[in-house]
Amino acid sequence: MRIITFLLSLALLTNCTESAKQETYQKPNVILIFADDLGYGDLSCYGSPVNKTPHLDKMASQGIKLTSFYVAASVCTPSRAALLTGRYPIRHLPGNLGPESKNGLPLDEVTIANLLKEQGYATAAFGKWHLGHATPEVLPTGRGFDTYYGLPYSNDMIKPWVQTEVPLMMYEDEKTVKEVQYEQQELTNEFTQKALNFIENNQQKPFFIYLPYSMPHLPIAAPDNFLEKADQNLYRAVIENIDHGVGEIMDKLDALGLADNTLLIFTSDNGPWHNLPDRMLQKGNERWHSGSVGPLRGAKATSFEGGFRVPALLRWPAEFPAGVVSEQMLTTMDLFATIADVAQADVSKAKTIDGKNARSFLNGTSNTTPRDTLFYFRGKRLEAVRIKDLKYSIRTPENPELFNLETDPSEMYNIVDRHPEKVAEMQSLIESFAAETGANLPQIQEN
């Protein structure tokens, strides 16, 4: 009898302890900052000898810096679609949208904002959307965000750069509030201020802010005080304006006592826009108004590392260790799965999730990342795969390439002839994933 009583008491104590844990778990705030066309080498903590980014450097020292962090596409729309759904864009929105586009992220896709809103989060998006604008249903307020302020697509999608009669409008929720033309010096500050106000007004409950800055996508612009500080180097001024905005957000979190339990993330949607089309070289745009890929090869709109590998900083003092630099692979799709976990969100309504939950890796309870494979898409075309340190590319199938990214991140030395068994394995994996997703494979060109 005493044994039964003891077991019942133990069970009751266990249940009470678990209930207490659930009651005391304070869901973290989440702020996801997504720069546009920012290169791997554009921050001083990633080796830039020009741009001064003290606030992002501080964020890196207080959290985790990832040196093998990837987007799921090297252009704007599909990269954002993958970030917000945790799914390769071949599954839903593989190509860029424009001013005349009538489609958007399919309405049956579940976004991270949908999941967090269900968990009681206040949700907001401030900045560039680029996932549909033709109807209210595809705007952010139709995709899980309580409020929105920003541009519906890229800041260059007006004449003379893009031949369209559609004016570039600033949206507030579902309504347009003003036309945006060439004077875009205050765009970054405007989005930052909206985020600061939202933090102030929602500090009593968990919140999720998606802050996709329009810069440094061309045309770039910065306030005069940043230009002066940057010795009239326009690109540097733009990056330092973004860095200042991140600093203001960190200061606000500190002032309100929210820093410890806020997961703050900074990354970019793809690499810098090199090899500009001639249409962009108007109204003051110059070829050097773009960023750096550092030691990497290629840039935006390519399947080289410079298009897909981007800076990524994560800070959550309540759980993540400080001062960590990791070369292990993660992606924006993994942010979806990780944020869902820390918010205790139910992902069962989502479709096939390609993202991996990296929480245990990021908080140090696991030594390895949950991801060892990444596929590189350009639109509907599957061009490469990375497995651990090896990257196999068939972008020119008559001349396939294999690189060891640990020793050759610049993709300079093709070792395809040295590892035939690995090549066969990776070719098979590409063909299998293409069949699963309906992707196209590059074809050998006939002479």
Q: What is the CATH number of the domain that holds 426?
A: 3.30.1120.10
**Which domain covers residue 419, as residue numbers?**
380-437
Q: Give the mean pLDDT of 230-250.
A: 98
Q: Is the pLDDT of residue 13 over 70?
A: no
Q: Is the pLDDT of residue 3 over 60?
A: no
The identity of residue 384, as a single letter, is A
Q: What is the pLDDT of residues 360-404, one digit of tens each?
A: 999 999 999 999 999 999 999 999 999 999 999 999 999 999 999
324: CB partners within 8 A, 6+ apart = 63, 64, 65, 364
On whether both 124 and 209 belong to a single domain, the answer is yes
On whether both 301 and 392 belong to a single domain, the answer is no
pTM of the complete model? 0.94
251: CB partners within 8 A, 6+ apart = none
**pLDDT score of 25:** 84
On whether both 47 and 157 belong to a single domain, the answer is yes
On whether both 398 and 258 belong to a single domain, the answer is no
Domain boundary among 348, 371, 394: 371
Q: What is the pLDDT of residues 282-336, one digit of tens each?
A: 999 999 999 999 999 999 999 999 999 999 999 999 999 999 999 999 999 999 9
On whether both 274 and 412 belong to a single domain, the answer is no
**pLDDT score of 24:** 75
**pLDDT score of 32:** 99
Residue 268 within a domain: yes
352: CB partners within 8 A, 6+ apart = 87, 91
**pLDDT score of 304:** 98
**pLDDT score of 445:** 77
Cis bond upstream, residue 219 (ω within 30):
yes
On whether both 353 and 399 belong to a single domain, the answer is no
CATH label of the domain that carries residue 303: 3.40.720.10
On whether both 359 and 398 belong to a single domain, the answer is no
**pLDDT score of 446:** 67
Residue 14 within a domain: no
On whether both 392 and 326 belong to a single domain, the answer is no
Q: What is the pLDDT of residues 109-145, one digit of tens each?
A: 999 999 999 999 999 999 999 999 999 999 999 999 9
Number of domains in the chain: 2
Choice between 397 and 445, residue whose per-residue pLDDT is larger = 397
pLDDT band at residue 7 under the 50/70/90 scheme: very low
On whether both 302 and 416 belong to a single domain, the answer is no
Residue 20 within a domain: no
For residues 79 and 89, what is the distance between their CA atoms, to the nearest angstrom? Answer: 7
On whether both 334 and 397 belong to a single domain, the answer is no
Q: Output the average pLDDT for the chain.
A: 94
Start-to-end Cα distance in the chain = 88
On whether both 415 and 349 belong to a single domain, the answer is no
**pLDDT score of 172:** 98
Residue 207 within a domain: yes
Q: What is the pLDDT of residues 68-94, one digit of tens each?
A: 999 999 999 999 999 999 999 999 999
The identity of residue 426, as a single letter, is M
> 234-255 and 54-61 helices cross at what angle (nearest 10)?
50
**pLDDT score of 2:** 46
For residues 204 and 300, what is the distance between their CA atoms, to the nearest angstrom? Answer: 40
The answer to whether 310 and 374 are in contact (CB under 8 A) is no
**pLDDT score of 447:** 59
Residue showing tokens 């559609």: 166
Q: Give the mean pLDDT of 406-419.
A: 98
Residue 2 within a domain: no
**pLDDT score of 58:** 98
> Sign of the CA dihedral 397, 398, 402, 408?
negative
Residue 3 within a domain: no
Residue 16 within a domain: no
On whether both 366 and 275 belong to a single domain, the answer is yes
The residue length of the chain stands at 447
- For the beta carbon of residue 287, count every other beta carbon within 10 angstroms: 11
For residues 125 and 141, what is the distance between their CA atoms, to the nearest angstrom? Answer: 9
Domain boundary among 317, 338, 371: 371
pLDDT band at residue 1 under the 50/70/90 scheme: very low
Q: Give the mean pLDDT of 159-173.
A: 97
Q: Is the pLDDT of residue 10 over 60?
A: no
Residue 199 within a domain: yes
255 three-class SS: helix
For residues 423 and 399, what is the distance between their CA atoms, to the nearest angstrom? Answer: 12
Domain boundary among 371, 389, 416: 371
Q: Is the pLDDT of residue 12 over 90?
A: no
**pLDDT score of 18:** 47
> Which residues does the annotation mark as catalytic?
76, 130
